[in-house]
Amino acid sequence: MTKLKKTPIFKTEAEEREFWENHDSSEYLDLSKARRAVFPSLKLSTKTISLRLPEGLLDNIKVEANKRDMPYQSLIKVWLAKEIQESRQL
């Protein structure tokens, strides 16, 4: 087994985020000892955005959402997440 590097002490969350974006965590953590974490009360943070859509497109999205008995904004999020996941698998 190779010796693990020592994880630095970070002054801010942004500093830590930048570090992990540019370093391989397997050099710092023994992943064979990792356990799945469960956070049942954790709510995903969301950010409100403004998105301009042609009225006809929005009407069609609302029809599709109604067929699925779900809010149209939720359907848009589902579609976006699915598209991103599929594009990352290529």
Render pLDDT for 19-42 as a digit per residue (tens, 0 to 9): 999 999 989 998 888 899 888 888
CB atoms within 10 A of CB 48: 4
Q: Greater confidence, 43 or 79?
A: 79
pLDDT of residue 1: 56
Please, what is the average pLDDT of the chain?
92
pLDDT of residue 24: 92
pTM over 0.95: no
Token output for 78: 């589902």
Report all structural domains of the chain as residue ranges with CATH numbers, in order of start.
1-35 (no CATH), 49-90 (1.10.1220)
Q: What percent of the chain has pLDDT over 70?
A: 98
Q: Is 2 exposed, middle or buried (0-12, 13-18, 19+ CB in 10 A)?
A: exposed
Token output for 55: 């009225």
